[in-house]
Amino acid sequence: MKAMILKEISSFQDNKTPLEMADLPDPVPGDGEILVKVSVCGVCHTELDEIEGRTPPLRFPVVLGHEVVGKVAGAGKDAKRFQPGERVGIGWIHSACGKCKYCLSGNENVCEQFRATGRDANGGYAEYLTVPEDFAYPVPDIFSDAEAAPLMCAGAIGYRSLRLAEMKDGENLGLTGFGASAHLVLKMARHMYPNSSVFVFARSEKEQIFARELGAVWAGDTADESPEKLHSIIDTTPAWKPIVESLKNLECGGRLVINAIRKEAFDKEYLLKLDYPSHLWLEKEIKSVANVARRDISEFLHLAAEIPIKPHVQEFPLEEANKALLELKERKIRGGKVLKIG
């Protein structure tokens, strides 16, 4: 099969093409697994973290990609959940132990044996991949393959973030950063909380304009002060600056939810500006999001079909994966980026 592979940790500053096209043997599904012929795979910021070593793969070479949509092409022993040809989606969570207290409570996202698609197991930047059948999801017919891909991670992690924010209808929501995940959060928030207002903080004027087009009542720079205090804020950036800046806009008892697998060190000194009286006092909370659970993906796909949420996407052929990643690195973003495969 054709696949774009990562052979080693790299830096886009030194190497604009860290992924290489390769011919790999077609994978064979094990017990309880299905073989998926990949149609599309979304491009996520987490891939940058994998390539540049902030959340490094366990082995090399590895096939990245965890926003996967394709059709079932085969099944291993005891895998009976899906029929051949059925369309499925695959997200960041590839597998978990299924036995610990977290798995048994539906929180397999924090299982010690959590394995990630495209990092701990080969992912969707390829013509085929395998996955345990319990970690694949039927894709509602309302979505095209390209529209469904960003829902598998950007949408699902945004949904988990919104759940953890614990906001009520009529309360103000803030979003820091406005990429693939945040633009989907805005859409679902407007549906779930019709009497709430959404405020967006983004350093790019294009992102601010896009946010207002999608229904944000206000959009400004990361360091700006919002015209109203916010009950909840969801941060979707890889930086520390938005964390500190957003806290000043929180209402008393408000909650900041950090939707990021890693924070980069380039602006870590910004934490020195954290001021307890103005940023954290009055019972403000900070909560992190750790991966996604199966419940998040399953529930979100139903919600997205009900609304419906149609992501804005830019499509690239598989061989242009490096170009799509570089644009993401350079923040040339309007919605989600999707690789077409096969």
Q: Is the pLDDT of residue 334 over 80?
A: no
- Give me the long-range contacts of 79-86 (CB less than 8 A, separation at least 24): 79/29, 79/31, 79/32, 79/33, 79/34, 79/133, 80/133, 81/34, 81/133, 81/134, 81/136, 82/34, 82/133, 82/136, 82/138, 86/138
| Whether 251 and 302 share a structural domain | no
**pLDDT value of position 311:** 86
Q: In what order do the strands lie in the sheet with 2-6?
A: 19-23, 2-6, 62-63
For CA atoms 90, 95, 101, 104, give the dihedral sign.
positive
CATH number, residue 52: 3.90.180.10
Q: What is the mean pLDDT of residues 7-17?
A: 90
Residues 193 and 261 reside in one and the same domain: yes
- pLDDT, tens digit (0-9, with 9 covering 90-100), for 126-158: 999 999 999 999 999 999 999 999 999 989 999
Q: What is the mean pLDDT of residues 34-59?
A: 95
**At residue 14, does pLDDT exceed 90?**
no
Say yes or no: 311 and 260 in one domain. no
Segment 94-117, tens digit of pLDDT: 999 999 999 999 999 999 999 999
SS3 label, residue 41: strand
Range of the domain at 240: 156-288
pLDDT for residue 265 is more than 80:
no
pLDDT digits (tens, 9 = 90+) for 267-308: 888 888 889 998 999 999 999 999 999 999 999 999 999 999
Overall average pLDDT of the 52-63 stretch = 94
Per-residue pLDDT averaged across 48-67, rounded? 95
pLDDT given for residue 61 in this prediction: 97
CB contact set of 73 (below 8 Å; sequence gap of 6+): 35, 36, 37, 84, 128
Helices (H), 86-179: 101-104, 145-148, 154-165
Q: Say whether both 120 and 164 belong to one domain.
A: no
pLDDT digits over 190-215, tens only?
A: 999 999 999 999 998 999 999 999 99
Is the same domain home to 129 and 39? yes
User: Does residue 71 register a pLDDT over 90?
Assistant: yes
Residue 17 predicted with pLDDT over 90:
yes
Return all residues near 23 (Cβ < 8 A) that are at least 6 apart: 1, 2, 3
Residues 19 and 144 in one domain: yes
Of the pLDDT bands very low, low, confident and very high (cuts 50, 70, 90), residue 314 is very high
Q: Tell me what pLDDT residue 248 has.
A: 94
What would you measure as the largest C-alpha separation in the chain, in angstroms?
Answer: 59
- CATH number where 195 lies: 3.40.50.720
Clarify whether residues 96 and 218 are in a common domain: no
Query: 306 and 240 share a domain?
Result: no
> For residues 152 and 141, is the Cβ–Cβ distance under 8 A?
no
What is the side-by-side order of every strand in the sheet holding 173-176?
218-220, 198-201, 173-176, 230-235, 250-258, 285-288
| Residues comprising the chain, all counted | 342
> Residue 255 has what pLDDT?
98
Give the amino acid at 272. Answer: L
Number of domains, the chain: 2
In angstroms, rounded to a whole number, what is the distance separating the alpha carbons of residues 176 and 228? 15
Residue where a domain stops, chosen among 264, 288, 312: 288
> At residue 179, does pLDDT exceed 90?
no
The reply to whether 103 and 83 lie within a common domain is: yes
Residues 10 and 99 reside in one and the same domain? yes
Distance, CA of 13 to CA of 51 (rounded, Å): 12
One domain for residues 143 and 57: yes
Question: Are residue 17 and residue 142 in the same domain, yes or no?
Answer: yes
Task: Check whether 119 has a pLDDT greater than 80.
Answer: yes
